[in-house]
Structure 1
Amino acid sequence: MAERFFITTLLLSIISFSSTVFASSPPCSSISITGLPLVRNISEIPQDNYGRPGLSHVTVAGSILHRMNEVEVWLQTFSPGTHTPIHRHSCEEVFIVLKGSGTLYIASNSHMKYPGNPEEHFIFPNSTFHIPVNDAHQLWNTNENEDLQVLVIISRPPVKVFIYDDWSMPHNAAKLKFPYYWDEQCSQEPLKDEL
C-alpha cells in the first residue's frame, strides 16, 4: 500500500511539474516534444500579444515546439477595432471564426505589381474562409462590442510574411518579416520569396 501511495505521489508530482513548466515556457522553448503532454488545455498554453496591442496569440500546434511540418494551428483573439497588417505569405491559410464578427479584406492580384483594391467580406461566428498562397489580405475586428476570435490553420510552417503599408504598395517593396513575431526566439534559416 505504501509503495502504491509513493508511486501515485511521484506521478502526480511529475505531472504537476510538467504542467507548470510547459504552461510558463515561451512558445519556442527548447523542451523536447517527447515531454509535452498529448492532450493539453488551451487556456494553459502560453499566449502573448508580441507587442501588438489588442491581439492575443496562442500557438496550439507549431513547427518549432511541436515539430509540425505540414500545418500549424493558432488561436487568435482581436479586441474591438484591432486588425492584422496588410500582408501576404507563401502558405495557404484557413480561418474558422469562433466568436465575434469583422471584415476580411483580400486582394487576389499577386500576378500584378501591387495588391490593388481588396474585396470586402463580412465574417461572423461559425463562418470559415481560406487565403490562397501570396494573396494580400487583412483581418479587422469591426465589431465595437465583442472580441473576434479565430482558429487559424496555415500550411508549410513556419510562416514567412510580407507586410504592406497600403494596398497600392508594390509587391517588391513589401517588408519581409521572418521569423514572425511568435517564432523570433527560435533560430531559423530565411526562405526564398516565391512571388
Structure 2
Amino acid sequence: MSVIDINSIEPKKIPGIVHRTLVGAWTDFHDLSIWMQFIDPGQETPAHRHDCEEAVVVLAGSGTCIVEGTEYSFGPNSVLLFKPNEIHKIINSGSEQMHVVGSLTAAPVKVETDQGAPLPLPWDEY
C-alpha cells in the first residue's frame, strides 16, 4: 500500500500542457497507468494511438476530440473512451483551462503517431 502526494510528482510540460503520471511503471504497476493534465485554451494533444484502452475524465473545461477522423464535442463531467489503436487527439476549444484525468490499461504505455512511428513524450521517463 502506498500514498502519494500528487504535488510531489514532478510535472512534465509540452507547449500548453502540464502532465503528471500518477500511477504507472514508476510505481511498479504494469497493467494500469493513471495521469492528469491541464491543457490551456487552444492547445491540443498530438494525434496518437496506443495498444490499450484509455478512459479520460474531464473535470473542467470543454473541447473537441477527434477519433479516427470523427469530431466529438464534450464538456466538464464527460468521460472519453478510446479503444486500443484508435487514433485520437483532445483539443481544448473552450475559453478556460481544461483539467483531465486519464487511465490506461498498460504501464508503461507505448504511444505512436497516427502514422505508426514512436511518439517520445517527456513523461516517458516516469
TM-score under structure 2 length normalisation: 0.91
C-alpha RMSD of matched pairs (Å): 1.7
Partner of 2:65: 104
Structure 2 residue identity aligned to 1:182: W
Q: SS of the counterpart of 1:40?
A: coil
CA distance in 2, matches of 1:91, 1:151: 16
State the number of aligned residues.
126
* 1:48 aligned residue: 12
Hey, what's the Cα distance between the residues in 2 that align with 1:124 and 1:43?
Answer: 26
Letter in 2 for 1:94: A
- Measure how far apart 1:45 and its partner are: 2.0
TM-score, normalised with respect to structure 1? 0.60
Name stretches of at least 5 consecutive residues in structure 2 with no aligned partner: none
How many percent identity over aligned positions? 33
Query: Of 90, 96, 117, which residue of structure 2 is paired with 1:175?
Result: 117
Written as runs of structure 1 = structure 2, the 5 A alignment for 1:1-195 is 38-49=2-13, 52-63=14-25, 65-107=26-68, 118-143=69-94, 145-164=95-114, 173-177=115-119, 180-183=121-124, 185=125
Q: Which has the higher contact order (CA 8 A, sep 6+)?
A: 2
CA displacement at 1:74 relative to structure 2: 0.1
Structure whose alpha-carbon radius of gyration is higher? 1
- The CA distance in 2 between the partners of 1:127 and 1:182, in whole Å, is 25
Amino acid at match of 1:132: K
Q: Is the 8 A contact 2:12 2:122 kept in 1?
A: no
Q: Which runs of 5+ in 1 are unaligned?
A: 1-36, 108-117, 165-172, 187-195
Q: Give the helix-richer structure, 1 or 2.
A: 1
